[in-house]
Amino acid sequence: MFKNYFVLTILSLLLPFVTKATDNSIINDDTSLSLSGNSRVAVIISPRAIVYADENMLTPLGYIANGKSILVGNPRRINRNLVPLVIYGKLAFLEIKDIRYVDQADQEYNAKRGAPREHDFDVIITKTDEKLSINNSVYLTLHQYDAGADLKETFQTIDNSDVGTLSGFALQLIHRQSNSRLFWGAALDYSRIYNLNMKFEYMLLSPTFGYTFISNPVFLIEAYGSLDLAVNVNYDVETNFDEEPNGYLWGLQANARIVLFPTSKYQLAAGLGYRKYSVSGLSPLNDLSNVTFNGIRNIASVSMFAGIGIKFD
């Protein structure tokens, strides 16, 4: 009797350490992941690895901190840059660039140190804190748009010259929220139109707000708008010895943009937009014979732009 009781006691103590056998399947009904069979031990090597609820990386769940040991499945067939893991009993995904696989020797060493067991991996994830120091991108783009009727008339009246387009560049800083499709930022936007005798130029400050409609590792499509202001619009005529007036400009800008390779450090961007500006201080104007004409009152045109981006994690 005592012997049977002793055996039962020993078995009850060993039972928690017995692992139930499972097959080699990683995915179970697309909602859970078996952390055995084809799974591998990995360590997070990035400062923090973002975990997504879907393979299109549209829904971040949070992040796993650097140095954490996790169990992951094989890379996905749809996206070889993603590996699956279990978060709160559900299938989730992280980027393979954020992990380093642990070899057998490392696994044995970690096992002796008491590495996390299978059931511990569901609680490693924490909420993503929204910090301005992460998820930032800088875009340098070249743009071009029609000069508009007022500018064309001004150049024709004063210099008897035909002009077509304003051209320039923009330097834009964007912060993308980790748990949202919204983004915001600001840009410096320079545009000018000129010939040998005349010049019209301005630098805009453009606070920006936008929304990402489609996002995946290959490209994203987004729209954004800005409230633009230029406090020193430079209008200059070389053959006029009188000092020309300076004006200021304000208005709206709306753009649609495609960004290629949005998860990479270096990106490509291109898009179309529409600008509508009001100009003050440059209407009316006098020509070289001191005859008054309408001057520059507004600029409105479709714009095109293209350039490069750099992502900062």
Tens digit of each residue's pLDDT (9 = 90 or more) over 85-140: 887 667 888 899 999 988 765 554 454 444 444 434 444 455 555 567 677 899 99
Q: Select from 120, 56, 59 the least CA-distant residue to 88.
A: 120
- The reply to whether 163 and 306 lie within a common domain is yes
Token representation of residue 34: 């078996």
Domain edge (last residue) among 93, 123, 153: 123
For residue 265, is pLDDT > 60?
yes
Confidence (pLDDT) at 142: 98
pLDDT-based confidence at residue 17 (cuts at 50, 70, 90): very low
Q: Give Dmax over CA atoms of the chain in angstroms.
A: 123
- The reply to whether 118 and 145 lie within a common domain is no
- The reply to whether 224 and 267 lie within a common domain is yes
- The reply to whether 89 and 141 lie within a common domain is no
- Give the number of other Cβ atoms within 10 Å of residue 234's Cβ: 14
CA distance readout (Å), 125 to 34, 49, 64, 168: 18, 10, 5, 45
Contacts for 127 with CB less than 8 Å, ≥ 6 apart: 62
As a whole number, mean pLDDT of residues 215-240 equals: 89
Q: Are 308 and 139 in contact (CB under 8 A)?
A: yes
- Residue 61 belongs to a domain with what CATH number? 2.30.30.40
Residues pairing with 311 in the sheet: 137
**2 lies in some domain:** no
* Mean per-residue pLDDT of the chain: 79
pLDDT-based confidence at residue 274 (cuts at 50, 70, 90): very high
pTM for the full predicted model: 0.63
Sign of the CA dihedral running 57, 61, 66, 67? negative
> Could you tell me which residue, 237 or 297, shows the higher pLDDT?
297
Confidence (pLDDT) at 125: 52
For residue 246, which amino acid is it?
Answer: N
For residue 24, is pLDDT > 90?
no
Least confident of 13-27, 28-42, 168-182: 13-27
- The reply to whether 186 and 256 lie within a common domain is yes
For residue 166, is pLDDT > 70?
yes
As a whole number, mean pLDDT of residues 258-275 equals: 95
Residue numbers of the domain that contains 57: 24-123
pLDDT-based confidence at residue 313 (cuts at 50, 70, 90): low
Confidence (pLDDT) at 66: 85
- The reply to whether 43 and 101 lie within a common domain is yes
